[in-house]
Every structure is written in structure tokens, then in C-alpha cells.
Amino acid sequence: MIEIENVHKSFGALKVLKGIDLTVDKGEVVSVIGGSGSGKSTLLTCINGLEPIDEGRILVDGTEVHARSTDLNKLRRKIGIVFQQFNAFPHLTVLENVTLAPRKVKGMGRKEAEEIAVRQLEHVGLGDKIKVYPSRLSGGQQQRMAIARALAMSPDYMLFDEVTSALDPQLVGEVLDTLKLLADGGMTMICVTHEMRFAREVSDRVAFFDQGVMAEIGPPEQIFGEAKNEATRKFLSSVR
Amino acid sequence: MFETDFTFNDLLFMLQGAGVTLAITFFAVTGGTLMGLAFGVLRASVRPWMTLPLVFVLDVFRSVPLLIQLILANAFQAIAGFGMSPFVTSCIVLALYTSAYCTEIVRGAIDAVPTVTRRAARSLGLTWGQDMTQIVFPMALRVALPSWIGLTLGVMKDSALVLWLGIFELLKSSQVLITRLQEPMFILLIAGGIYFMLSFPIARLGGHLERGWKEND
């Protein structure tokens, strides 16, 4: 379970998160929507401790992420994250990209790590690309590789930060299909997304962020059907 | 036709000098690169103001002509009674001089690795050290190599200045022969040829490595 309690975060004078409260249960898929600069992506980087927070606390399975005593490297094994930009390691083959963390972080043997990597790569439809370097992959393929790379650590939670935003429109579908597959498999996911159809079809709950505040949260039918908040309605009518 | 008093033994004498040039270059570049790596990683990892004293010292080594550094260092070690040979003094000065340039090459190359790539590595649970060795160094090496090869070749040629401390490296050996044989053009042509033969494999090695990497890009 991920528990976010009254989280505040600023970059200099800019307040990005102004008191976020959110609990995500095991197996739940929560989509976070909202305009740019609303703090959605920052929240994800705070959850796995890539960014410090100013106030409040975030608990992952009861462990406080920003506590001094927390071993972040250990905690991060539980939390996979995929970013908007394709973050392939360009000097490693697709297979090496995926086996790196299991081998170095978990201390797995090469053979075992490769078996897991191949399984994950096949899962995201890249079974035939294991020997090539990332530069030979399309954006959509690189993004699916990044997903396989995160999954190879067998995380309990997956965070997706606008993973389709940097893709050509015709490549968006293949990545969203991969996310759907994951959601169907029972993975706990927080997806920051601009894909409203995806948010509607896959999420258990949808949260709308507006200027650092979670303005509204509820089941997709509520958010997309009869949003209570004026800002939510305004945002949704602008993206439709 | 062309006649010369230049003998095979003279050539051996020059090659001995070339060996000294190579040895000084090796120690200077090895020491300078190790120091440059340490300083460069430090510069790229901590806040800029924390390395200000280091940057100042390195700027001195980059700004003062090498010849002045060599002569001052040699005089200083004699006055201080360190009892170092000119060879050791030369290697130390050249290593510091190399490290001043190498530090900036390393810092620039590390900065060239995208922050998002490093974040991705850390998000997988890699430690700072693992991120450095598995992701940053291999990616930065591709950026740094052309400049580093240039630096190495530059240091090899700059090492000729140690002749002022009385070291018989390649240029000094050539000077001795020129004085004796009075055939400056011919001897300098040979010296230039030897410098080229020392430099060429290093330059080619760089090109070879870069071509190998390009195939993956």
C-alpha cells in the first residue's frame, strides 16, 4: 500500500505540491490527470525518493520513503518507474539493459537474470530484439523496453510518468496495450497520463490535479461523467 | 646525391631519446589521468563552490607556461632539498599539467550524461557507485575519448620541454646530433618522423574504438 499524507514540495519559490493526500491499495490502478505544472510528475518522483519533500510523509508498505533510516536503494526495488523520455542505456543491448539491475542490485546470476529478462521482453513484445542496441528501436519499442526493465526487478508497484507523451501518435497504442496487460495482471499502478481513454478504461480511480492540489478523485465514471469540481469539468472539456 | 655522416648508432641514440619521451609521456598521462578522473568526478558531483580552491590550483597549472612550471619546480625541489631527479620532477609537473586539462574533460563528459538517464538508473535501485561505473563512465568515455587522445598527443609533444632540465629525450638527442653533424634539416626530419610514429598508433587506437561504438549508435 502507498500512503501519501499531506505532502508539500517546492522547487525554490515555486510550490509544486500543496498538501497531497492519497492512498493506493494493492492491486489498484490510479490514473493522475491534470494540466502541465499541476505537480503530477513531481509526485511520482517523490514516491520513490528521487526528490525530497518539504512536509508530510509518504509510506510504501509502512516504510517512510524520506526517513533518514530508510535504505532508498532497497526500497526502490519494490517501486518501478518509467519516465516520459526513453531512458535506455545506449551502451548496453536491450538484454543488458534489462538484466543490469537484477544482476547488480539483486546479485542475480547472469543466466537467471537473462531468463527473467527474456520473459519480460517477450511479455512486452520485444522477444526478437534482445541482441540489438536501443538506438535501433523505435520510441515505442524503447518505452516498452523501459517497462520490461522495471518489471525485471519484480516490483510491487509501478509508476508511469506520461510514458506516451514523447511518442509519435501511431506508437502510443502499443505502449498503452502493454500497460493494460499489466493492469489486468493485477499490478498496483499509478499512471500520470494525458490519455483520457486509457484513464477511463483501465483505472479503478482517477485523480485530477490542479495547481499542486488534488482537486478531485473518484471512479472514472464519476470523473468523466459527473465531475463535482468546476476545474475538473473545465479541464476535461478542454482535452476532449 | 645525398650524403650524410648520420650512422646507425646515431639513430639508436635518437631512439633511446624517444624511449625517454615515451616513458615521461606514459607516467605523466597515467598520473594525470588518474588525478583528472578523481578531480573530475569530484567537480561533477559536489556543488561548484566546494571545489573552488581545486579549480584555482588547476587553473594555475593550465595558465602558466609549462616551461616556467618545469624550471620553477626543479629549482624549488632543489632548494627544498627533495633530492628528486629531473626525470621525476618532469613526470610530476607534466602529470599535474595533464590532470588540470583532464579534470575538465572528465567533468564535461560526466555532465554530458543526461540527468534522466542517471535517474532511471537510480530508480532501478542502483547505488551512486553502480550508477557511476555501469552507466556514467561507459557513456562519458565515448564523449571524453577524442579530447583525451588529443591531450595525450599534446603532452607527448610538450614533453620535449623537459630538455631544459637536462633530460636526454628525443628532441635533446636530436640537438646533440645537430651540433655534431651540422645537418639540422635531415636530423629534424628523422625526429619528426619518430614523433609521428609514436603518436600515430595512439591516434588510430582512438579512431578504432570510436568506430566500434558508432556501430551501436
Averaged confidence pLDDT in chain A: 91
Q: Which residue of B has its CA nearest to A132?
A: B216
**ipTM of the complex in this document:** 0.85
pTM above 0.95, yes or no: no
Number of domains chain A is built from:
1
The pLDDT of residue A51 is 93
Residue A129 within a domain: yes
pLDDT of residue B2: 67
Task: Tell me the chain A residues in contact with residue B134 when contact means C-beta distances shorter than 8 Å.
Answer: 89, 100, 104
d(C-alpha A116, C-alpha A150), whole Å: 12
pLDDT of residue A165: 84
Residue B84 lies in a domain: yes
Q: Are A105 and B213 inside 8 Å of each other by CB?
A: no
Nearest to A21 by CA among A154, A146, A145, A207: A207
Find out whether B158 and B148 touch, Cβ atoms under 8 Å: no
A105/B123 Cβ within 8 A: no
Range of the domain at A113: 88-155
What's the distance, Cα to Cα, between the start and end of chain A in Å? 32
d(CA B181, CA A101): 66
Q: Residue B87: what pLDDT? A: 95
Using left for φ > 0, alpha for ψ between -120 and 50, and beta otherwise, residue B146 falls in alpha
Higher pLDDT among residues A175 and B39, named by residue: B39
pLDDT at A35: 87
| A89 interaction partners in chain B (CB closer than 8 Å) | 117, 120-121, 134-135, 139
Q: Of the ranges A40-54, A170-184, B75-89, B110-124, which one carries the lowest mean pLDDT score?
A: A170-184
Nearest-Cα distance to chain A for B154, in Å, is 29
Cα diameter, chain A: 55
In Å, what is the CA distance from B120 to each residue of A146, A150, B141?
Answer: 9, 9, 19
A67 in contact with chain B, both atoms CB, cutoff 8 A: no
What is the helix, strand, coil percentage profile of chain A, to 5? 40, 25, 35
Q: Once rounded to an integer, what is the mean pLDDT over residues B27-32?
A: 97
Q: Contact A100/B124, CB-based, under 8 Å?
A: yes
First to last CA, chain B: 54
Q: Do A85 and B124 touch (CB under 8 A)?
A: no
What residue in A sits closest to B137 (Cα-Cα)? A91
Q: What is the pLDDT of residue B55?
A: 93
Is A216 domain-assigned? no
Lowest-pLDDT range of B91-100, B102-111, B199-208 = B199-208
Give the CATH number for residue B117.
Answer: 1.10.3720.10
In a domain, B75, yes or no: yes
Whether the pLDDT of residue B216 is over 80: the answer is no
Is residue B186 pLDDT above 80, yes or no? Answer: yes
Interface touch A105/B139, C-beta < 8 Å: no
**Is B2 within the bounds of a domain?**
no
Average pLDDT over residues B19-29: 96
pLDDT by residue (tens digit) across A132-181?
A: 999 999 988 999 999 999 999 999 999 999 888 888 888 888 888 888 88
Q: Give B215's pLDDT tier (boundaries 50, 70, 90).
A: low
Going by pLDDT thresholds of 50, 70 and 90, the confidence category of residue B107 is very high
Phi, psi for A180 (deg, rounded to 5): -60, -45
In a domain? residue A79: no
| DSSP H helical ranges for B46-65 | 52-63
Share of chain B above pLDDT 70, in %: 98
The pLDDT, as a whole number, for residue A228 is: 87
Q: Which domain holds residue B158?
A: 8-216
pLDDT score, position B5: 84
In a domain, B70, yes or no: yes
Tell if the CB–CB gap between A50 and B123 is shorter than 8 Å: yes
A125 within a domain of the structure (yes/no): yes
- pLDDT over threshold 70, residue A56: yes
The arithmetic mean of pLDDT across residues A216-232, rounded, is 90
**Count of structural domains within chain B:** 1
Using the predicted structure, report yes or no on whether residue A240 has a pLDDT greater than 70. Answer: no
The confidence score (pLDDT) of residue B184 equals 92
Taking Cα atoms as reference points, which of B137, B106, B114, B118 lies closest to residue B35?
Answer: B106
Task: Report the percentage of chain A scoring pLDDT > 90.
Answer: 68
> Does residue A127 belong to any structural domain of this protein?
yes
